[in-house]
Amino acid sequence: MTTSAQIGAIATGEFAFTDANFREIARIAKDEAGIDLPHSKATLVYSRLAKRLRALGITTFADYCETIREDDEERNSMIAALTTNVTRFFREPHHFEHLRNEIIQPLAESARRGKRIRLWSAACSTGQEPYSMALTVLSVIPEAASLDIRILATDLNPHVVARGKEGCYQKEELKDIPSNLRSKWFVPVPSKGASAMQIADSVRSLVSFRELNLMGTWPFNGPFDAIFCRNVVIYFDRETQSTIWTRLARLLRDDGALYIGHSERVAGAANALLSTDGITSYRKKGGKPS
Ligand SMILES: C[S@@+](CC[C@H](N)C(=O)[O-])C[C@H]1O[C@@H](n2cnc3c(N)ncnc32)[C@H](O)[C@@H]1O
């Protein structure tokens, strides 16, 4: 006999999980972080959140829904559990070649005369992306830390932002960094273990880490010379993606560059503002700055 508790059940294993629970979680994830969770993701949601229920000693998703209704911190932990922070140094190396050759090289002389350069890593995870941007800048302008050059690194998840700020990585994570940059800009931190390496202070000083939800307001006006917004809008529905592309394009200076993830494409109104310039690289229309 079917009990009323089983009606609409997605899972009845370790934790009871109903359609109604899934819909509530999906609505909160969408409202809070833009994350689009179609019903086909229900099993994924169950497995990602099961560890949260275990950690909290909660035995049903109905109780978990009650918790996230009231507890801001747990809502953040839920969003963190539903997203992935996978990243690495110099991921999609062609973007860093483009940044070096098309953006930083042409600006190097004027930067030495005091011109500002602003870059943004808009979903920076644990910092490998903004530090790869910083190392790219330093490969062209070794004295960058004493010039008006800054990299903004933001992410929704406070834990990854804290790790990025710390700038501490295991030796194996540094393997994709060109060896000349690796030996110059990383120092061992024996207190954190035999293979712990920290990025040098002069690199860290170029990067400012902040918590920022791309779905909220952005408390800065740009213009940026380049924006990396990679492997994050894949979580959003098409309409939200399109809004984000347009907002990013508006913050670029003319001819500034937007880099996006390998499985992402700019679509919608932003196409009127951007033209393609290589693999998943775009330039703001409007001509080269003087
Ligand atoms: C897969 S990582 C991508 C890291 C890096 N951009 C890269 O491509 O290597 C996705 C990051 O997006 C962040 N994220 C997810 N939703 C977000 C949102 N609404 N606003 C800002 N960051 C978000 C996650 O916290 C995660 O760190």
What the chain holds in terms of domains, given with CATH numbers, is 4-82 (1.10.155.10), 93-284 (3.40.50.150)
Please identify which of the residues 52, 155, 204, 230 carries the catalytic annotation.
155
Residue 160 CA, ligand 1 centroid: distance in Å: 9
* Whether the CB of 37 sits within 6 Å of ligand 1: no
The pLDDT confidence band at residue 279, using thresholds 50, 70 and 90, is confident
Residue 117 phi, psi dihedral angles, 5° rounding: -125, 130
Round the average pLDDT of the chain to a whole number and report it. Answer: 93
Neighbours of 14 (CB within 10 A): 12
Average pLDDT estimate for 96-122 = 97
Per-residue pLDDT, averaged over 90-98, amounts to: 97
Tell me, using a 6 A CB cutoff, whether residue 34 lines ligand 1.
yes
Residue with CA nearest ligand 1 atom 15: 232
The Cα angle at residue 84 between residues 78 and 87, in degrees rounded to 5: 145
Give me the pLDDT at residue 13, please.
Answer: 75
Q: Which residue has the higher pLDDT, 206 or 11?
A: 206
The label of the residue with tokens 């994050």 reads 232
91: tokens are 């991921």
- Phi (first) and psi of residue 142, to 5 degrees: -60, -25
What residue owns the CA closest to ligand 1's atom 9? 87
The two beta strands, 224-229 and 117-121, are: parallel
Rg (CA), the chain: 21
Q: What is the mean pLDDT of residues 169-194?
A: 94
Q: Is 82 helix (H, G, I), strand (E, B) or coil?
A: helix
pLDDT grade, residue 288 (50/70/90)? low
Burial environment of residue 2 by CB neighbours within 10 A (0 to 12, 13 to 18, 19 or more)? exposed
The Å distance, Cα 81 to ligand 1 centre, comes to 12
pLDDT > 50? residue 180 = yes
pLDDT at 50 over 60: yes
For residue 282, CA distances in Å to 12, 91, 97, 237, 240 come to: 47, 17, 14, 21, 19
Specify the pTM.
0.93
Q: How confident is the model at residue 265 (pLDDT cuts 50, 70, 90)?
A: very high
| Ligand 1 centroid to residue 233 C-alpha, Å | 8
- The answer to whether the CB of 215 is under 6 A from ligand 1 is yes
The phi and psi torsions of 25 (rounded to 5 degrees) equal -65, -45
Nearby residues of 19 by Cβ (< 8 Å), 6 or more positions away: 8, 9, 10
φ/ψ of residue 213, rounded to 5: -90, 120
